[in-house]
């Protein structure tokens, strides 16, 4: 069977690892770990902006960013690109030492630093020619909700009692008082990171 890209060009999958004979996406527990990790990650990336556009315009002008069409790197260290900015990554990778970070989650950070320093590919630097034989013939990726439902349906773990781990008794739905909250180490003003 052939290798295919789904959703974004770049990450390639063996068709027989991810599709059934009926050309439907296999259940997640039947997909090998590496392609499954990439597929689950792709679901959250397919509508994201190009990283270079985002570095140029930021959140304030995100509407000016091109939607990403290409992904390079490893899950959680990937670079998302539009066709206009793909040559920048290729130049950095081939000519500016980016290949040193191949296979590393640092890949994206090092490329973003290079772009943020004002670097770009020289005018006319060649991109990769992507061949799309039958992009409409591939099934669509499931959305994030469907992936979450599939993961929960296959989950066979045990329930963990956080209070027991912390050495506290279960409170049977009793609310925490303001005094108890003030005495705790919980920081309610903290911002927690998102995946993008």
* 196 residues of the chain, pLDDT tens digit each: 578 888 899 999 998 898 888 878 888 889 999 999 998 898 889 899 999 999 999 999 999 999 999 999 999 999 999 999 999 999 999 999 999 999 999 999 999 999 999 999 999 887 665 445 555 555 555 555 665 565 555 555 555 566 666 666 655 556 667 777 677 766 666 665 544 4
Asked, for residue 142, whether it belongs to a domain, the answer is no
Is the domain of 77 the same as that of 98?
yes
Is the domain of 2 the same as that of 20?
yes
149 Cβ partners below 8 Å, 6+ apart? none
23 Cβ partners below 8 Å, 6+ apart? 137, 139
Total number of residues shown for the chain: 196
Q: Domain ends where: 126, 154, 180?
A: 126
Is the domain of 87 the same as that of 29?
no
Is the domain of 6 the same as that of 28?
yes
Is the domain of 66 the same as that of 92?
yes
Q: Whole-prediction pTM value?
A: 0.66
Tell me how far apart the alpha carbons of residues 190 and 140 are, in angstroms, rounded to a whole number.
37
Query: What is the predicted pLDDT for the residue at 187?
Result: 65
Is the domain of 26 the same as that of 66?
no
Asked, for residue 186, whether it belongs to a domain, the answer is no
Please count the structural domains in the chain: 2
Is the domain of 99 the same as that of 111?
yes
Is the domain of 72 the same as that of 11?
no
155 Cβ partners below 8 Å, 6+ apart? none
In the chain the beta strands, taken as DSSP E runs, fall at: 3-4, 13-14, 70-72, 79-81
Query: What is the predicted pLDDT for the residue at 194?
Result: 46
| Angle at the Cα of 39 from the Cα atoms of 8 and 131, rounded to 5 degrees | 30
Asked, for residue 75, whether it belongs to a domain, the answer is yes
In 12-153 the beta strands, taken as DSSP E runs, fall at: 13-14, 70-72, 79-81
First to last CA, the chain: 33
Is the domain of 59 the same as that of 25?
no
Asked, for residue 53, whether it belongs to a domain, the answer is yes
Is the domain of 116 the same as that of 54?
yes
* Structural domain that includes position 21: 1-46
Which residue is associated with the tokens 């260290």?
A: 77
Is the domain of 53 the same as that of 34?
no
Residue 135's Cβ-side half-sphere holds a number of Cα atoms within 13 Å equal to: 9
Asked, for residue 17, whether it belongs to a domain, the answer is yes
């Amino acid at each position: 069977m052939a290798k295919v890209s789904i959703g974004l060009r770049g990450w390639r999958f063996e068709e027989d690892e991810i599709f059934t004979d009926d050309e439907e996406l296999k259940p997640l527990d039947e997909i090998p770990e590496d392609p499954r990790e990439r597929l689950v990650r792709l679901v959250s990336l397919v509508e994201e902006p190009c990283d270079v556009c985002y570095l140029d315009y930021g959140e304030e002008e995100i509407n000016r960013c091109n939607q990403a069409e290409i992904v390079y790197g490893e899950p959680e260290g990937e670079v998302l690109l539009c066709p206009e900015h793909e040559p920048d990554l290729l130049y950095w990778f081939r000519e500016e030492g980016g290949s040193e970070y191949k296979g590393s989650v640092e890949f994206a950070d090092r490329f973003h630093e290079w772009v943020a320093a004002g670097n770009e590919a020289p005018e006319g630097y060649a991109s990769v020619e992507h061949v799309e034989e039958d992009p409409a013939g591939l099934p669509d990726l499931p959305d994030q909700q469907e992936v979450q439902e599939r993961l929960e349906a296959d989950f066979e773990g045990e329930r963990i009692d956080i209070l027991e781990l912390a050495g506290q008794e279960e409170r049977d739905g009793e609310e925490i008082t303001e005094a108890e909250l003030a005495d705790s180490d919980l920081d309610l003003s903290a911002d927690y990171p998102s995946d993008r």
